[in-house]
Amino acid sequence: MADPAADARNGATAGEEARDRSAVRGPLALERGERAGERIRTVVVDDHDDVARLVAHRIAALIRGHDAAGRPTVLGLATGSTPLGVYRELVRLHREEALSFANVTAFNLDEYYPMAADSIHAYHRFMWEHLFSHVDIAAERVHVPDGSVPEDGVEAMAAAYERAIVDAGGIDFQILGIGMTGHIGFNEPGSGADSRTRMVILDRVTRRAAAADFFGEDNVPRRAVTMGIATILAAREIALLATGEHKAAIVRRAVEGPVDLEVAATFLQRHPNATVYADRAAASALTRVATPWLVEPVQWTPALTVRAVVWLSRRVSRAILKLTQQDYAEHGLSSLVALHGSPGAVNGLVFNALGAKIRGRSKLPAGQRVICFSPHPDDDVISMGGMLGKLVENRNAIVVAYMTSGNIAVFDHDVRRYVDFLERLAREGMVDPAHIAPLAGKVYRFLDTKRPGDVDIPEVQEIKRLIREAEAVAGIETLGLPPSAARFLRLPFYQTGMVRKNPIGPEDVAIVRALLEEWSPGYIFVAGDLSDPHGTHRMAKEAIDAALAELRAAGRPVPEVWLYRGAWQEWPVDEATWLVPLSQEELRRKIQAIFKHQSQKDSAPFPGPTDDREFWQRVEARNTGTADELNRLGLAEYFAMEAYVVAQA
């Protein structure tokens, strides 16, 4: 049977297709894909902002080229955190560089079902809030699957959606994200290559990944309407965007693995003009990034040498000092031995380099002024509780700067518990009932009628903020810091009451800069996590980086920056600048500090999509695991370890 959408795709001239492909190709689009086993053209850039700019400017070039030729442009659009930067840049191009959307038609990939168009969870609303209401696109040219039609009307709505795409001439440029299951759109494992727009049942991994947006997995719809694989592959050009280290494994599977019904993104390998745009974190598991010596000759820098030898040691399950000529030869590393003359020379070099990373308390800052920036009110103790204890012992002057309130990560039942406590105090005559009763009544009335995802009233937001702040103070007191060491910055970008936050703005940067100027630290500790599923860590670091840049521009001294990781992963030993040993007692004290965050205990509201463990369990496994890794490599044996990377100035 003829495919009208495919006919529309094939209607583009050879010259237009060649021009489109060359426009995508940038200086970072590496042309050794076949040797690296890459089955989709893949562009690797430094960070998520680079991904957003590259894709947005490709779309802008396409629109302008079509406008000049008198042709309309049809865009296939995606939702979620990954394409947000693309939409922000497109809005900027519209406002500042006169990019017009007057001749653009848009079709969105999917929508939850059932879902009212005006719900805060609706993709219809998402697109208008982040793109359509900020550009000159006509409302009648905007198409989003209707999540509100009666169930018996979904099939007809889906068929009409397909016809509308064909009537528009087919999709010129399709944006995709990639889910943890490898889904594109909501095409979950088992979606066929011939699938079209339809109702689907969402995989549990997908629902867990969306749990934060819905304030709990139980509130995530179990179904959605999505374009099918065949609908997506009918687009003339496809861009799959991937950012963050938590996407690294599935990106490698999609790019380097065989086409598989269980991983929908692998079907993109069959498309003649599909490109994966990944930041370095999302691309970190690709062969050409993780083990480039297996792809082509490399320049053996000290860092790459350490990485290769650690990789080899893991691969053959042998300590570094026991690696042999045969080990190196069988794993593509003969050039490294040739460079240094013998396996023993390489082994010794890397063994000593790793040993030099180990820093006990005597080698850590002492008598210095220090700021620990904590994006949420528990990241400090989760990520660097051991370090904080050592810095206290070394008599440093320490400020722990909590950048956000973390109030959206408090369950409503905790609010009820604390309000009940206040009411009990009032009944005992310890506080004035006239102050408590009106507050309690207002809070209870709101919570009794609150729907999942509703923004809390100000009183509830403030109670949740105070809960997190009290827990934060209790946590640092466990490590020996006084309550006065806690600073609550309450950065404005976070204060939306929703999971989605505002972009970092001048006010956020000014607050961070003011603290840096006031405290004049010699060292600052910053969350450098690449896997934070919420984005708050990344945005907090963005504010810090901007404040430091302003200080440099003003000729002011800037501190040394140590990056720690969040709750999800630790720095690998070969990437870490410093490895800080923890004794059994120090790890126990760190876990006790984590326990003080009772609102996050037992079942944190946003634990991440793939890990059911509590934060203290992840920390224990992560810190003891880092020490075990060092032991397996043949270095000294320690009970536990934290890892840090010193950022380049």
In whole angstroms, what is the distance from residue 501 CA to residue 456 CA? 15
Q: For this structure, is 188 an active site residue? A: yes
Percentage helix, strand, coil, to 5, in the chain?
50, 15, 40
CB atoms within 10 A of CB 229: 23
For the four alpha carbons of 402, 486, 458 and 598, in that order, the dihedral sign comes to positive
Write down the H helix ranges in 234-301.
248-256, 287-290
140: CB partners within 8 A, 6+ apart: none
Q: Which of 472, 426, 455, 498 has the alpha carbon at shortest distance from 418?
A: 426
Burial of 601 (0-12, 13-18, 19+ CB in 10 A): middle
Query: Phi/psi at 495 (nearest 5 deg)?
Result: -85, 60
Helices 506-519, 536-553: inter-axial angle, 10-degree rounding: 60
Burial of 444 (0-12, 13-18, 19+ CB in 10 A): middle
On the CB side of 262, CA atoms within 13 Å amount to 4
Under 8 Å between Cβ of 642 and 583: no
Determine the distance from the C-alpha atom of residue 274 to the mean position of all C-alpha atoms in its chain, rounded to a whole number: 23
Maximum Cα interatomic distance, the chain, rounded to a whole number of Å: 83
Number of helices followed by number of strands (H, E) in the chain: 22, 17
Under 8 Å between Cβ of 253 and 228: no
Residue 240's region, left for phi above 0, alpha for psi from -120 to 50, else beta, is beta
Q: 310-343 b/e with 16+ CB inside 10 Å = b?
A: bbbbeebebebeebeeebbeebebeebbeebeeb
Q: Which of 21, 221, 24 has the alpha carbon at shortest distance from 119?
A: 221
163: CB partners within 8 A, 6+ apart: none
Structure tokens at 430: 């310890």
Residue 90's identity, in one-letter code, is L
Among 89, 111, 162, 188, the active-site one is: 188
Q: Which residues are catalytic?
A: 188
